[in-house]
Structure 1
Amino acid sequence: MSWTLAINHATVTTPILFASSVLTNSNGQAGNAMLYGATLICSLFFSTLIFGVLGSKKGLSLSMGLYCVYVGLFATAALMCEEKVDGSCVKSNSYQLIINLAGAFVGGIGAGILWTCQGAFFSSICERVAVAEDRETPNVTAELAGNFALIFLAMEAAVRASATLLTKYAHLNYPAVFYIFSGLALASALAFHVLATETGSTAPSGSLCAKATSAIRLWKDPKIWVLQCTNLTFGFAAAWLGGYVGRYIVNPALHGAQFIGFAGAMLSALASVLSAGLGVVARKLGKGPVVALGAAAFLMLAVLSKFVGNPATWGWGVLVFYLLMGIGRAVYESTNKAIFADFFPGEASAGAFANVFVFGTLASTIAFTLGATSKNLSELYLLMIFAILTVPGYITASFVKRCEESSSADCAESSSSA
C-alpha cells in the first residue's frame, strides 16, 4: 500500500504545484479550488459511505484510478496555453478552464475516498500490530506513521524532481510530462488492486445514512475541533505555497517555472527524512514538541513570504519556503495523523480521518478561491492565525482526553465497588 499509494499520489500533488504557472493563474487556482472543494464534499458526505460499502482495498483502488483521470485531464488543459511570459502561461483558449475544472472534480472525489480508506487501513494495522506484539498503541502509531510518511514523501520527491529533469534537461513540454505521470498513476492503481488484500478495517456501523454521516457525528466531540488547527494550517500553507509563492516569488527569483519541480522535490525529500526521525522523537518526548515544531515552520513560511523584504529578489534563497514547508509537511503526514489514530481508534477512525481532510481541504479551497478572486491576501493571515493556535489546540485536546479517561476510570471503579 505504501509504495503504490506513494507513486499514485505523487503524480497528483505535482500538478497542484505547477497549476498557477503551467495554466493561467486564474484557471490554475480555480482548478485547485475545485480539487479541494470536491475533496471536502466527498470527505464529509460520501467517503465513509463508500468505505463502508467497498472496504479499504476496493475504495483505495477506485480512488487511485480517479487520480489518473485527473492528471490526464490536467495534461490536456496544459496543451491549451496560447501565450507564455517568463515561463508562465498568461493566455489560453476557452476550453482550458472547463477541462481543468472537470479533471479537478474527478481528482477531488478520488482524494476524498482515498484518504478516508487509507486512514482506516492505517488505524486497523496499528491496532493489530499493538496486540500481536503486546505494545502500546500510541508507540505503534508513531512508528508506523513515520515509516509510511518516509516512503510516501520519498516517492513524491522523486516524481517532483523528475518533472524538472524532464522539462529542463530532457526538453519535454509540460503536457507530455503530465501524460507520463497519468500513466504512472494508472500502473500503480492496477498494481495495488492486484497485490493488496483487505485489512479487516472496522467500518462505521448502522444504516447507509449513518455511515455517510459518521464524520459529522464526531463533531459533537470537542476534541475533533481543537485538533483541527494543524490540518487547517497545512491546508492554508499548501495553497499559499502552490498559489502565491510559486508564481510571485519562485518564478521571478529563478526565472521560470522549471525549478518548481526541483523545489517541490526538495520539500518532499526533507519531509521524508524528517518523518522517520520525528517518529522517534514522538515516542521519546511525546507528540506535543513535534506539533510545536510544525506550527513554527508554517508560521515562519507566512512571515518570510510577505513581511521580510522582497523574497522575489532572493534568487536560490527562495528555497527556504520549501524547506519550511517540508518541516511542516513531515509533522502533518506523520505525527499529526498518528495523533488522530490515538484519539479516535477503532470504529471512529474512518470518520476521524475523513475530518482530517474535510478541514484541511476546506482551508485550501478557501485559500485557492481567495487567490483566484482577491488580492488582499486574506489567506495569508488565516494561515498565521491557525499556526499560532495549533499548540494550544493540541494541549486542550489532550486535557479533554485525560478528563474523559479519568471519568471512565471513576465510573468503572464505582461499578466494581457496587
Structure 2
Amino acid sequence: MELPPDSEAIVKRLSDNFLWVSVSFALSHGCVTTPIMVVSTLLGKDVAAFGNGVLYSFTLLSSLFLGAPLASVLGPKGGLLFGMFFYCIYVAGFSLAALFKDVEWLMWTFFIVGSAFGGTAAGVLWTAQGGYFASTSTQIAEAAGEQREAVTARLSGNFAFIYLVFEVGSKLVFSGLQLLEVPTWEIGVLYLLIGLLGLGMMSQSINTSAGGAAGPVVRPRMASKVLAAASLWSDPLIWLLCPTNLTFGFCAAFMNGTVDAEYASKELGPDVVAFLGAITAATAAIMAIVFRPMASRFGKGPVISLGAFCFFSIPCCILVLGCCSNWGWGLILLYLFQGTGRAVYESTNRATFSDFFTGEKTEGAFANCMMQSSFAFAFCFFLQAKLSGGTLSVIVLVLSVSTPICYGLALQLQRRRLEKATADPSLAISESLHSSREC
C-alpha cells in the first residue's frame, strides 16, 4: 500500500494507521492479560504458577531466538499477526482448562500447552511492535521535520494509553461476568472471539516497512537475525537499561501471584481480583498520558526514577507497614503503585529503548527488552513455590533501587560515546550513536 507523496498527508496517514494498530493490538492484548491475572484464583495457585512460569519461559526463548528473525522476515506487521494468532491459541487453552477444571490432568495439559503458545506469541509480538513503533516514528519524524525523540515520546504515550484502557475494559467485563455467574470457559470463548476480531483488524493495517519515504525494504535472511538480541549483549547499554524491565516483570508476577492469591483474594474475595487488575491498568493508562509531556519537558530520567519509586513502595508497604492483614480495601494502594510503575515501563521505558538503539539495532533491542521482563516474570513465578512473600519483596526492593542508578550510568556512557563521535566522526561509522539530549 503506497503512502501519499505529500508530507502532511503522510503524517496523517501514518498517525491514523498507528491508532488503528494500537486499537487492534489492545483488543488482543486485553484478552490475554486478564486470564494471566485471574488464573491463580480460578484454576489454583500451583497450576497458575507453573503455567505462567512456562508462559514467560517461552517468552524469553521466543524473544531470544524467534522475535527478531520473524519480525525481520515477515516484517513488523507480519510479526504482529503471527503473535496475535498464537495469543488466540493461548486463550483457547485457558478456556478448555476452565471447562475441564474437574479433570486435573486435562486442566494442566490445556493450560500448559496454551501457555507455551502464549509465550511464543509474546516474544514475537512485542519485538514486532517495537519495530512497527520505531518505523512509524522515523517516518513521521522525517515527513514532519520533527525530532524523533519527541515523536517516540508522543506515540509511546498514546499507544500505552489505548492498550491499557482496553485492558481495563477487559478486566472489568471479566469481573462483571463472574458476578453474573457466567461460567469461566464461556467467558474465555468470548475473549477468544474478541482476540480474533483484533487479528482481523490488524490485517487491514499499513505495512510500514513495505514502502514510504525510504522506499522498499529488502528482507534480511532469517539466519542473520536469529541472535539479534544476543548481538547486543556486548554493549553495556543493554544491561544498564534492563533494571526497569526486571523490576516490572518481577513485581508484576509478584502481584499476580502472591499478592492476588495470598492477600487480595483472602481480604476481599476472589471475584474482586480482576477488578483490582483493572485498577492497575486504569492507573497505568492515566499516568501514561501524564508522563508523556513530563518526558518531553523534563527528560525521561525523572520519569524512570518515579516509576522505580512506585515499585519500591510496594515491598515497603509489606515489609515496613505490615501489609496486608486486615487492610481491606486499603490494598488498592499496592495496585495504584503497580499501575504507576507499569505506565513508566509501557511508555517511557519503551521510548528509551527506541532512542538508545536505532536503525538495524531496533529489533534486537526490543527483543532484549521483552526477554529481560520475561525472565523476571518466569523467575518470580517459579520462586513463588519456594519463597515467602517477604523474601520476594526484598528482591523487588533491590531491583527498584538499581533502576535509576543504572539509567544514570547509561546516560553517561551514551554521552561519552557521542562526544567521541563528535571529536572523531569516523567512529560514527562503526557505532550507531544517538543523542541522549532528550532522554
Assess same fold via TM > 0.5.
yes
SS at 1:185's partner residue?
A: helix
**Structural mapping, 1:334-349, within 5 Å:** 334-349=347-362
CA contact (8 A) 2:319 2:390 kept: no
1:233: which partner in 2? 247
Query: Against the structure 1 CA distance between its residues 96 and 372, is the aligned structure 2 distance closer, same or farther, given a 3 Å change threshold?
Result: farther
1:85: which partner in 2? none
SS at 1:106's partner residue?
A: helix
Cα distance in structure 2, aligned partners of 1:17 and 1:253: 17
**Structural mapping, 1:1-400, within 5 Å:** 1-82=21-102, 93-168=104-179, 170-193=180-203, 195-200=204-209, 207-254=221-268, 256-375=269-388, 378-400=391-413
Cα distance in structure 2, aligned partners of 1:336 and 1:62: 24
Shift in Å, 1:21: 0.9
CA contact (8 A) 2:90 2:114 kept: yes
Q: Which stretch shows the higher mean deviation, 317-326 or 377-386?
A: 377-386
Q: Which amino acid aligns with 1:209?
A: A
SS at 2:208's partner residue?
A: coil
CA offset digits 1:240-286 (Å, max 9, x no partner): 000100001101111x2111111111111111111111010000111
CA contact (8 A) 2:285 2:343 kept: yes
CA contact (8 A) 1:25 1:372 kept: no
CA offset digits 1:42-92 (Å, max 9, x no partner): 00111111112111111111110110110111121123334xxxxxxxxx6
Q: Which amino acid aligns with 1:387?
A: S
Percent identity, aligned pairs only, is: 34
Q: Which amino acid aligns with 1:116?
A: T
Cα distance in structure 2, aligned partners of 1:32 and 1:279: 31
CA RMSD across the alignment: 1.9
CA contact (8 A) 1:77 1:96 kept: yes
The unaligned stretches of length 5 or more in structure 2 are 1-20, 429-439
CA offset digits 1:129-166 (Å, max 9, x no partner): 11111111111111111011110111110111111111
CA offset digits 1:225-251 (Å, max 9, x no partner): 000000000000110000100001101
The unaligned stretches of length 5 or more in structure 1 are 83-91
Q: Which TM-score applies when normalising by structure 2? A: 0.88
Q: Which amino acid aligns with 1:360?
A: S
Cα distance in structure 2, aligned partners of 1:393 and 1:185: 37
Cα distance in structure 1, aligned partners of 2:412 and 2:167: 36
SS at 1:412's partner residue?
A: coil
Shift in Å, 1:306: 4.1
Shift in Å, 1:183: 1.2
Q: Which amino acid aligns with 2:208?
A: T
Q: Which amino acid aligns with 2:22?
A: S
Q: Which amino acid aligns with 1:359?
A: Q
Q: Which amino acid aligns with 2:129?
A: Q
Cα distance in structure 1, aligned partners of 2:30 and 2:380: 22
Cα distance in structure 1, aligned partners of 2:422 and 2:219: 26
Query: Against the structure 1 CA distance between its residues 312 and 95, is the aligned structure 2 distance closer, same or farther, given a 3 Å change threshold?
Result: farther
Cα distance in structure 1, aligned partners of 2:302 and 2:389: 33
Cα distance in structure 1, aligned partners of 2:276 and 2:406: 31
CA contact (8 A) 1:51 1:113 kept: yes
CA offset digits 1:266-313 (Å, max 9, x no partner): 111111111111010000111111001100111111221344224131
Q: Which amino acid aligns with 1:269?
A: A
Number of equivalenced pairs: 403
Cα distance in structure 1, aligned partners of 2:64 and 2:380: 19
Cα distance in structure 1, aligned partners of 2:427 and 2:344: 40
SS at 1:311's partner residue?
A: coil
